[in-house]
Amino acid sequence: LIFLSGFFVFVASVLFSVARIFDIDSLEDVAFWANAVSTIGAVLAALHLLRKLVILIGLWTILCSKTSRTDGKDRVNISRIRNVTMTQILLTLTRLVTTLAASVALPWSVIENAFPDASSLSSDIPVWIALGAVSMAILATVFFFLVEYVVRYNLSPQLGPFVSELFRDEIESIHQDLSVRQNEIDTKIVQDRENWEYVAREFLHKYRFDTVFAADRFGTILQYIQSGMKQPADSK
């Protein structure tokens, strides 16, 4: 739906440009109303960001409860993960405010231009909302680069084993629930590998660490669970 709304906005912009160049009033009116479709894209983006924000807040709450049960170096590591999660919450919130402002400014500006006497409010209000949305978008972009290339970049490569061990009880419970009876066709190693792959998918579907970490750090969590929660030295 976001793709379709973006496509319609592109078509509308082409029609509007052609109408202004060749002075075609009827085509300009069609393009003008077609721009209202861009609001759908903003609303859909806001719904997506709202869902992501709820996931991040839930994960941050779980990490807070885990922090109270750890001490020493583990407490420091989990606090760092919790802080990274908080930066993602702030970034997502900034983007959410941007999309909400855009979804208000776009239809409002269309109504103000089409029906200038329909509202008693100042016609400059949607302009200021749009400027605020643009400013927030620029801020979110700068914030994104700081999170991506400063906060995430400095995370430990051993993040996967640490996070997995932190949730070992839950992972072992999932493994017990998803383990199927051994058959006599495939080898035990193949069947165990398949079981742990299902466990990794189920765990990472429940705890959406992909919303917090970049692909490399997230991949270490996936690989560690798929290996059966064993360090390389343990598998010898």
Helix, strand, coil percentages, rounded to 5, for the chain? 80, 0, 20
- State the pLDDT at residue 235: 46
Q: Who's near 223: CB < 8 A, 6+ residues apart?
A: 160
Two tokens, residue 69 = 């049960």
pTM higher than the cut 0.85:
no
For 198, which DSSP code? H
Looking at 40-44, 90-94, 103-107, 229-233, which range is the least confident one? 229-233
For the segment 23-40, the average pLDDT, to the nearest whole number, is 67
Give the pair of three-digit tokens for residue 87: 């930066």
Q: Which amino acid is at 52?
A: K
* Whether the predicted pLDDT of 192 surpasses 70: yes
DSSP 79-125: HHHHHHHHHHHHHHHHHHHHHHHHHHHHHHHHHHHH-TTS-SS-TTH
Write the pLDDT tens digit of every residue in 85-95: 888 899 899 98
Q: Chain centroid to CA 119: how far? A: 36
Tell me the mean pLDDT in the region 223-234: 72
Mean per-residue pLDDT of the chain:
78
Q: Are 229 and 164 in contact (CB under 8 A)?
A: yes
| pLDDT digit string, tens, across residues 10-23 | 776 677 677 667 77
Cα four-point dihedral sign 26, 27, 30, 35? negative
Predicted pLDDT of residue 229: 74
Residue 36 confidence class, pLDDT cut points 50, 70, 90:
low
Burial class from Cβ neighbours inside 10 Å (0-12, 13-18, 19+) for residue 226 reads middle
Least confident interval from 93-97, 101-105, 184-188:
184-188
* CA angle in degrees (0–180, nearest 5) for 80-49-13: 135
Q: Which of 83, 37, 78 is closest to 56 using CA atoms?
A: 83
Higher pLDDT, 2 or 83: 83
Token pair for residue 153?
A: 């970049």
Query: Exposed (0-12), middle (13-18) or buried (19+): which is 110, by Cβ within 10 Å?
Result: middle
